[in-house]
């Protein structure tokens, strides 16, 4: 499972800027105003060699005891408890403040490792900037600039050093699937129906499950791991700090699974939050199976309406299998396993390079990539670059401008050719340099010596020119 790194510090020290830098996104609002971030943000870290989740917290004002700042402080402390490592951010331009000392005292009481980062140090002497922060007693301060990226990679390498490398998906021996969805759609009821016992609490109240529960079991002599996750509410509906960080546990469960089973409530309209939760799974590259629950006792008109709504709002999940079930009655639950097994096999499929290249050639014969200016991208061969999800790497020339529409065409072609039902598929491009550039340079001795060769046409029909004492050129003709 991925490590969780929480960014902590007083207001306006650059936590959101660092969050955006680590996630390579613009998800967190950034402005020169204290207290802009009130709710927490979470994202997948993309700076560093190891996988991790990063949490941006609101400004920590530990001395207040009421109001919005107090609520923000409670969330920050909850983030500290949930995190595996903490980055304590301070402002190098403003120097050490009394609030920094109070926060440091709070952080020393936790068992989590704390890393001190001195931000906003661009253009300054690093040794001088870091000197006064040794007083906090949190080890050697690491001077960074979140806005410019200076020192950020070194910081994350230090933070992530104790954590294990990414799990090799080839060593996963059995399907591990997470049951995800909005609160009160019947996730725990589905888990109990799968297991055949009341293993988790199922209650008609949103938010009953607040932690992710991992359960190993066997079905027809085949091992599985099922993960019951907390419901993910719409941001405006999330009030309690405990429930807020249930979202992080859900995302971590998705990352840890091979397949995500998205549960929808047929008695409710398909909402934007359903699409958001599906987006979490797609961003993680996890295979998907859709279970439309509470299908019993619906009339024909309602069933037709919900199918049309799914097609309209969840059209981007066309690769996934849909099942219409009743978890409470146990109807259709057994059919889920066939789709889970198919999605798992597709996600972990090994694709041979010769077959991938042949499929690419067929796709190019049917439709060439569009020109980018005067140049048409040229694709030469393809090979597999990873699993869960399958990654196909295409090599060629001038591939930097291939449009998204053509990439989707290739994804559809590969999925159909290899029957990759239930899993997203990613196509990546790798352009090669001109192999004749160096040969052309080495063949010309003047170019090899660093001299600039004169074009051949400039020597035709001309005689050597010589300048006179008055600066005029003469050709040597009488």
Does the structure show a pLDDT above 80 at 159? yes
- Nearest-10 crossing angle of helices 67-82, 241-256: 30
Q: What is the pLDDT of residue 185?
A: 87
Distance (Å, whole) CA 152 – CA 145: 7
Q: What is the pLDDT of residue 184?
A: 82
Q: Which band of pLDDT confidence, cut at 50, 70 and 90, is reported for residue 447?
A: very low
Q: What is the DSSP string of 338-361?
A: HHHHHHHHHHT----HHHHHHHHH
Give the closest residue to 186 by CA, choosing from 263, 250, 283: 263
Does the structure show a pLDDT above 70 at 207? no
pTM over 0.75: no
Are 382 and 322 a contacting pair, CB within 8 Å? no
Output the CA–CA distances (angstroms, integers) from residue 292 to 185, 250, 262, 277, 447, in the order listed.
9, 19, 8, 14, 68
* Residue recorded with tokens 């080495």: 442
The 10s digit of each residue's pLDDT in 368-393 is 999 888 888 999 999 999 998 999 99
Give the closest residue to 397 by CA, choosing from 370, 379, 415: 379
CATH T-level topology, domain 169-347: Rossmann fold (3.40.50)
Q: What is the pLDDT of residue 430?
A: 92
Distance (Å, whole) CA 207 – CA 238: 10
Q: Is the four-CA dihedral 112, 115, 116, 120 of positive or negative sign?
A: negative
Q: Per the annotation, where are the binding residues?
A: 9-16, 56-60, 119-122, 181-188, 228-232, 293-296
Q: Which band of pLDDT confidence, cut at 50, 70 and 90, is reported for residue 69?
A: low
Distance (Å, whole) CA 398 – CA 207: 51
Where in the chain are all domains bearing CATH 3.40.50.300?
Answer: 3-160, 169-347
* Residue recorded with tokens 């996963």: 172
Mean pLDDT of 244-264: 79
Mean pLDDT of 230-251: 52
Are 335 and 411 a contacting pair, CB within 8 Å? no
The percent of residues in the chain predicted with pLDDT above 70, rounded, is: 76
Are 201 and 217 a contacting pair, CB within 8 Å? no
Residue with the larger pLDDT of the pair 419 and 164: 419
Q: What is the pLDDT of residue 288?
A: 95
Output the CA–CA distances (angstroms, integers) from residue 55 to 9, 219, 248, in the order listed.
12, 37, 9
Q: Per the annotation, where are the binding residues for GTP?
A: 9-16, 56-60, 119-122, 181-188, 228-232, 293-296
Distance (Å, whole) CA 79 – CA 60: 11
Alpha helices in 335-448 (DSSP H): 336-347, 353-366, 404-418, 437-443, 445-448
Q: Rounding to the nearest 10 degrees, give the CA dihedral for residues 272, 332, 226, 214.
A: 80
Does the structure show a pLDDT above 70 at 265? yes
Q: Which band of pLDDT confidence, cut at 50, 70 and 90, is reported for residue 3?
A: confident
Does the structure show a pLDDT above 90 at 34? no
Give the closest residue to 399 by CA, choosing from 360, 372, 437, 436: 372
Output the CA–CA distances (angstroms, integers) from residue 458 to 365, 461, 463, in the order listed.
44, 8, 11
The 10s digit of each residue's pLDDT in 461-471 is 444 445 455 45
CATH T-level topology, domain 3-160: Rossmann fold (3.40.50)
Residue with the larger pLDDT of the pair 438 and 158: 158
Are 117 and 90 a contacting pair, CB within 8 Å? yes
Distance (Å, whole) CA 440 – CA 239: 67
**90, containing H or E segment:** strand 85-91
Are 287 and 422 a contacting pair, CB within 8 Å? yes
**CATH H-level, domain 349-478: superfamily:** K homology (KH) domain (3.30.300.20)
- The structure tokens listed for 341 are 């097994």
Distance (Å, whole) CA 210 – CA 230: 5
Distance (Å, whole) CA 99 – CA 332: 57
Mean pLDDT of 70-99: 84
- Nearest-10 crossing angle of helices 15-23, 152-160: 80
Q: What is the pLDDT of residue 449?
A: 46
Q: Which band of pLDDT confidence, cut at 50, 70 and 90, is reported for residue 436?
A: low
Q: What is the pLDDT of residue 215?
A: 80
Are 82 and 191 a contacting pair, CB within 8 Å? no
Sequence-ordered list of residues with C-beta below 8 angstroms from that of 203, at least 6 positions apart, any chain: 188
Q: Which band of pLDDT confidence, cut at 50, 70 and 90, is reported for residue 401?
A: confident
Does the structure show a pLDDT above 80 at 14? yes
């Amino acid at each position: 499972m991925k490590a969780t790194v929480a960014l902590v510090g007083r207001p306006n020290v650059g936590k959101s800027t660092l969050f955006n830098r680590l996630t390579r996104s613009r998800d967190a609002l950034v402005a020169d105003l204290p207290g802009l971030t009130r709710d927490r943000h979470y994202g997948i870290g993309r700076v560093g060699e190891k996988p991790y989740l990063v949490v941006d917290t609101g400004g920590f004002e530990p001395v207040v005891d009421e109001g919005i700042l107090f609520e923000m402080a409670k969330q920050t402390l909850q983030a500290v408890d949930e995190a595996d490592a903490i980055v304590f951010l301070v402002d190098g331009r403003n120097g050490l403040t009394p609030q920094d000392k109070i926060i440091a005292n709070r952080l020393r009481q936790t068992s989590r490792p704390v890393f001190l980062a001195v931000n906003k140090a661009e253009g300054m002497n690093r040794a001088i900037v870091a000197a006064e922060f040794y007083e906090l007693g949190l080890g050697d301060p690491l001077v960074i600039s979140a806005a410019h990226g200076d020192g950020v990679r070194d910081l994350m390498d230090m933070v992530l050093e104790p954590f294990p490398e990414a799990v090799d998906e080839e060593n996963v021996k059995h399907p591990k699937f997470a049951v995800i969805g909005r609160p009160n759609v019947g996730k725990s009821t589905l888990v109990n129906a799968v297991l055949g016992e009341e293993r988790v609490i199922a209650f008609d109240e949103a938010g009953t499950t607040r932690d992710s529960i991992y359960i190993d079991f066997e079905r027809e002599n085949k091992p599985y791991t099922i993960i019951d996750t907390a419901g993910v509410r719409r941001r405006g509906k999330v009030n309690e700090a405990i429930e807020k960080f249930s979202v992080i546990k859900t995302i971590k469960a998705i990352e840890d699974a091979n397949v995500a089973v998205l549960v929808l409530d047929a008695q409710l309209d398909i909402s934007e939050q359903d699409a958001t939760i599906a987006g979490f799974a797609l961003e993680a590259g996890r295979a998907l199976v859709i279970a439309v629950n509470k299908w019993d006792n619906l009339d024909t008109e309602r069933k037709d309406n919900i199918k049309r709504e799914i097609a309209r709002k969840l059209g981007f999940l066309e690769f996934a299998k849909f099942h219409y079930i009743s978890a409470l009655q146990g109807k259709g639950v057994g059919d889920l396993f066939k789709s889970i097994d198919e999605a798992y096999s597709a996600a972990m499929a090994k694709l041979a390079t010769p077959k991938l290249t042949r499929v690419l050639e067929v796709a190019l014969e049917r439709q060439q990539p569009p020109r980018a200016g005067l140049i048409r991208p040229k694709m030469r061969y393809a090979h597999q670059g990873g699993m869960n999800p399958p990654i196909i790497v295409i090599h060629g020339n001038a591939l930097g401008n291939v449009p998204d529409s053509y990439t989707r065409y290739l994804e559809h072609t590969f999925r159909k050719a290899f029957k990759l039902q239930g899993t997203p598929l990613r196509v990546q491009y790798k352009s090669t340099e001109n192999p004749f550039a160096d040969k052309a340079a080495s063949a010309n001795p003047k170019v090899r010596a660093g001299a600039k060769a004169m074009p051949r046409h400039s020597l035709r029909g001309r005689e050597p020119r010589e300048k006179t004492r008055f600066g005029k050129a003469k050709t040597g003709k009488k």
